[in-house]
């Protein structure tokens, strides 16, 4: 069998959007992904179905796999003809042991490629508002390992030259050795009043920054209980943080927010969360799929001209209905005599993409509001088509029937349980690393509870904030013993985010 290939990929420092385009391609195409502790777990969501995921997490105090074991895994998978992505935090050639892995692969006759990544020594200070170079402060920059054993006799760091020879010093993984680093710098001529910063978990919601000088940075870091992973910056550029810090000033900074929408719809909410400084954690509790049987919908479409009203209650309903119209060769001009109702602005926008305009859109985006609108219309004896989800509430068709309407409720799409990684979510909840739960429909609530187990609600969700898109979703959450902290007054994604921002402002 021909050998596969190994890509040594830099994953960046933590923010998954700092992955390179080529690096993301390597993740998407990999048969095997061997990933580090410092590479974002969110990047693994891009892996193709069936890809083998191997955790090789390493920290200064504990290794899941030793380097020799990692080397053997890379070679064995490549010799089996697999496309292997070795996903490493930061850049593989900057204190990432990528050079050692490349040498081993070469010795074993395994083809490899290097995909550089954004190194934490630049990105982490940048997220803390510290530019590592600035023409008014420094002309030189040094990257230095902070993980060298302080008791070894023959250090590879030339402290007498490094201490005063470079304007900015950036130490990687040096938290345990911070007192030793400061001692050496001062002993070899760096003034005690030199600004210094320690940045932990840079580019992530947990980012924490402590600034001071060489005289007090050790005490300040100890008081703040700073630990691994951390970047240490020494130099006058640290003073720029006071006016250049930007990441921590975003309104949702420090919040990891669970997005429970279907994967195809989650990106809109996720992007808005990221723009506000939060970290979206996608856990699709539902997926939107075709009906098991298209016959009822096809029958309605075949006789579409016989309907007086078409009520569309979601963006999904519009898409599936219109797609089926197209597949059945039914011209949308057949809708010209039908009055169309949309349940909210996003549904209306989706309808208008097809060049069709709505007769009505209620001010409140729930089924009950549609009923109030139609009470002013003559619906008795009128034919109403209601294409929607298989699990939608019955209040709308049942009420319309009592008003004398002839209602055809047909399944345009189904809502099924999503594919979110429950084990990883439970782990995050136990560690209090999920701060806000968002629910955009009753089905997202029901499936979320089903996936984590109703018996675990009180144990896992203590301390989390629950945000619901509207009263119907909130009612479902309360029925399932969730405490609702936030309810949007406008039942849209923008309304939900506005309510979350208001909650934390207060």
379-420 residue pLDDT tens = 788 898 999 888 787 888 888 888 888 989 999 998 888 887
> Is 63's pLDDT higher than 70?
no
For 171, the 3-state DSSP assignment is: strand
pTM of the model: 0.80
- Whether 173 sits among the annotated catalytic residues: the reply is yes
Return the pLDDT at 148: 75
For the cut 70, the answer to whether the pLDDT of residue 183 exceeds it is: yes
Residue 161 tokens read as 């030259």
Q: How confident is the model at residue 177 (pLDDT cuts 50, 70, 90)?
A: very high
Q: Both ends of the chain: CA-CA distance in Å?
A: 63
Percent of the chain surpassing pLDDT 90: 65
| pLDDT at residue 368, as a whole number | 73
pLDDT category at 75 given cuts 50, 70, 90 is very high
**pLDDT on residue 371:** 78
Q: In terms of C-beta density within 10 A (0-12 exposed, 13-18 middle, 19 or more buried), how is residue 402 classed?
A: exposed
Q: What does residue 233 show for φ and ψ, rounded to 5 degrees?
A: -120, 130
Query: pLDDT-based confidence at 278, cuts 50/70/90?
Result: very high
Q: How far is the C-alpha of 203 from the C-alpha of 113, rounded, in Å? A: 26
Q: Is 375 a catalytic residue?
A: no
| Count of positions (residues) in the chain | 506
Per residue in 96-149, pLDDT (tens digit) is 899 999 999 999 999 999 999 999 999 999 999 999 999 999 999 999 998 876
Catalytic residue among 15, 36, 91, 408: 36
DSSP letter for 164, please.
H
Q: CA 458, CA 111: separation in Å to the nearest integer? A: 51
Q: Binning pLDDT at 50, 70 and 90, where does residue 153 land? A: low
pLDDT of res. 96: 86
Quick one: which of 205, 148, 206, 156 has its CA closest to 180? 148
117-121, 360-364, 374-378, 489-493: range with highest mean pLDDT? 117-121
Residue 322 falls in the annotated catalytic set: no
DSSP 46: G
The active-site residue out of 58, 88, 184, 451 is 58
Q: Sorting pLDDT into bands at 50, 70 and 90, what band is 3?
A: confident
What is the rounded average pLDDT for all residues in the chain?
90
Instruction: List, in order, residues 6 or more apart from 482 with CB less than 8 Å away.
Output: 437, 445, 449, 457, 461, 466
Please, what sign has the CA dihedral across residues 274, 277, 282, 283? negative
Can you give the pLDDT at residue 100? 93
Domains of the chain as residue ranges with CATH: 5-118 (3.40.1010.10), 122-248 (3.30.950.10), 256-285+418-505 (3.40.50.10090), 290-415 (3.40.50.10090)
Average pLDDT over residues 303-322: 91
Strands (E) in 165-225, as ranges, are 168-172, 195-200, 208-213
Q: Which of 15, 31, 91, 173 is catalytic?
A: 173
Is 70 exceeded by the pLDDT of residue 168? yes
Query: d(Cα 376, Cα 373) in Å, to the nearest integer?
Result: 6
User: Before 427, cis peptide (omega within 30)?
Assistant: no
Could you tell me what percent of the chain has a pLDDT over 70? 96
């Amino acid at each position: 069998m021909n050998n596969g290939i190994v890509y040594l990929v830099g994953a960046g420092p933590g923010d998954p959007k700092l992955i390179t385009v080529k690096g993301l391609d390597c993740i998407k195409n990999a048969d095997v992904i061997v990933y580090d502790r410092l590479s974002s777990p969110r990047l693994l969501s891009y892996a193709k179905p069936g890809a083998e995921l191997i955790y090789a997490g390493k920290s200064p105090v504990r290794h899941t796999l030793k380097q020799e074991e990692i080397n053997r895994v890379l070679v064995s998978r490549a010799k089996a003809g697999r496309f292997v992505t070795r996903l490493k935090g930061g850049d593989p050639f900057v204190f990432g042991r990528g050079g050692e892995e490349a040498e081993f692969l070469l010795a074993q006759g395994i083809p490899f490629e290097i995909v550089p990544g954004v190194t934490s020594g630049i990105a982490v200070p940048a997220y803390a508002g510290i530019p590592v170079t600035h023409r008014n402060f420094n002309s030189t920059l040094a990257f230095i390992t902070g993980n060298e054993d302080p008791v070894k006799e023959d250090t590879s760091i030339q402290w007498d030259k490094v201490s005063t020879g470079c304007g900015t010093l950036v130490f990687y993984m040096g938290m345990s050795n911070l007192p030793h680093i400061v001692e050496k710098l001062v002993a070899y001529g760096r003034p005690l009043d030199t600004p210094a910063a320690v940045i932990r978990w840079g580019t992530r919601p947990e980012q924490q920054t402590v600034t001071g000088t060489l005289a007090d940075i050790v005490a300040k870091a100890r008081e703040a209980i700073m630990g691994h992973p951390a970047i240490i910056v020494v130099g006058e550029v640290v003073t720029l943080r006071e006016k250049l810090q930007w990441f921590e000033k975003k309104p949702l900074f420090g919040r990891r927010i669970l997005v429970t929408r279907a994967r195809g719809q989650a990106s809109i909410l996720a992007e808005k969360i990221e723009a506000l400084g939060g970290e979206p954690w996608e856990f699709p509790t539902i997926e939107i799929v075709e009906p098991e049987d298209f016959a009822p919908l096809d029958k309605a479409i075949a006789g579409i001209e016989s309907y007086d009203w078409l009520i569309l209650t979601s963006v999904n309903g519009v898409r599936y209905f219109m797609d089926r119209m197209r597949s059945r060769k039914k011209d949308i001009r057949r809708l010209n005599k039908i009055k169309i109702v949309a349940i909210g602005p996003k549904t209306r926008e989706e309808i208008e993409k097809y060049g069709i305009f709505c007769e009505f859109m209620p001010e409140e985006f729930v089924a009950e509001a549609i009923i109030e609108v139609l009470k002013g219309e003559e619906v008795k004896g009128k034919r109403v088509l209601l294409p929607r989800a298989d699990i939608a509430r019955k209040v709308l068709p049942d009420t319309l029937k009592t008003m004398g309407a002839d209602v055809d409720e047909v399944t345009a799409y189904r809502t099924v349980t999503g594919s979110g990684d429950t084990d990883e979510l439970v782990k995050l909840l136990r560690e209090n690393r999920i701060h806000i739960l968002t629910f955009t429909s009753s089905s997202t609530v029901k499936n979320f509870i089903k996936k984590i187990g109703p018996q675990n609600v009180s144990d896992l969700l203590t301390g989390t904030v629950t945000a619901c898109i509207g009263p119907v979703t909130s009612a479902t959450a309360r029925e399932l013993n969730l405490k609702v902290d936030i309810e949007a007054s406008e039942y849209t994604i923008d309304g939900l985010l506005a309510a979350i921002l208001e909650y934390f402002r207060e």
